[in-house]
Structure 1
């Protein structure tokens, strides 16, 4: 196999992926683009990643799109789902996932390192995680097959559990207060959040 390094690009299952981390001959990868738009959950109710419809879809219908060879390289992992650092809303149970969304902690770590800012909230920071964070631009993603960027979901809870954290489309800022799990931003009408699946991949067969 070609030499895979952090920030390398690779192809899997018909999508282009970006390498975020490498550990013990496995790589954490995320789709280069937002590959589709879906709600976080199929009802407007308190929910966490463990029980949301988007997790069920990614580990079911989406996972089943991969062929047997690709599936043999996708490694199920235990994901920690922490409470929201600013608002204390519940992250829910740890989950075993083959396919998942990144958490706010992972986004802060892997798209530049903004971790310290997550735990040191500025006095004027209520809705947005660090508007002037130098790593914001690294999180901007295009919607596959369309012009321009769009916002995309993280698995972490927002201010309350009818919201989930997201990455703002035009500047890559982290919306730590969250967007509506069913319709995203209410002003978007029926538009729903972007999905950038992530997974751990075995690098050698």
Structure 2
């Protein structure tokens, strides 16, 4: 029987996924690299994860790219969507998702090393909520088309027109980037787009995967 371990890479649905957690016969997996660029939401205004276009895309069009056999291996989960700890922006309703983005709590405290001390003790002088020398930064870095890029989390930023993201250097942008338009001249050199990268996550049935 095949053994599964946290940190291992598994192929599924045409992508390579990293195992972040194992609970019984289920594994939480995230794509090793960003699979595409997308805005968090397709129109301006306040939004939460429950209502954003990226969630609709991941649980609709993207989910439907998997075969029926692959879909049967994806376990739906009830996600808690907490308010932003510092700015008070709304996390929104809990959501039942097949495919989702990770939250700031999951990225900071659980699956990429434990930097919770920084989450709880933010310095007012820091542009990002933890130091650039945080030992876990490198674990959060990822690429799109081989180029280091930033990627979305589902948590709200300083207001509900922004969402938290992972900077290219692994830092977490707690204030967030614009959910509809990201006002920056920094663009991906291959795509010419400045939208955030997408790293889908899901719970995979290991029993059915074998």
* Fold shared per TM-score above 0.5: yes
What TM bracket, shorter-length normalisation? over 0.9
State the partner residue of 1:12: 12
Q: Are 1:182 and 1:192, in contact at CA under 8 Å, matched by a contact in 2?
A: no
Query: For the aligned residues, what is the CA RMSD?
Result: 1.3
State the partner residue of 1:194: 197
State the partner residue of 1:40: 40
- Cα distance in 2 for partners of 1:152, 1:2 equals 31
State the partner residue of 1:137: 138
State the partner residue of 1:24: 24
Deviation at 1:117, TM superposition (A): 1.7
Q: TM-score, normalised by structure 2?
A: 0.92
Q: Secondary structure at the match of 2:143?
A: coil
Q: Secondary structure at the match of 2:207?
A: coil
State the partner residue of 2:174: 176
- Cα distance in 2 for partners of 1:102, 1:200 equals 12
Tell me the matched-pair count: 201
State the partner residue of 2:158: 159
- Cα distance in 2 for partners of 1:67, 1:93 equals 29
Q: Deviations over 1:39-88 (max 9, x none)?
A: 00001100000000000000000000111111111000000000111111
Residue segments in structure 1 that go unaligned for 5+ positions in a row: none
- Cα distance in 1 for partners of 2:204, 2:93 equals 23
Measured at CA, do residues 149 and 180 of structure 1 come closer, stay the same or move farther in structure 2, by a change above 3 Å?
A: same
- Cα distance in 1 for partners of 2:60, 2:123 equals 40
- Cα distance in 2 for partners of 1:197, 1:185 equals 24
Instruction: Provide runs of 4+ in structure 1 moved above 4 Å.
Output: none
- Cα distance in 1 for partners of 2:171, 2:114 equals 14
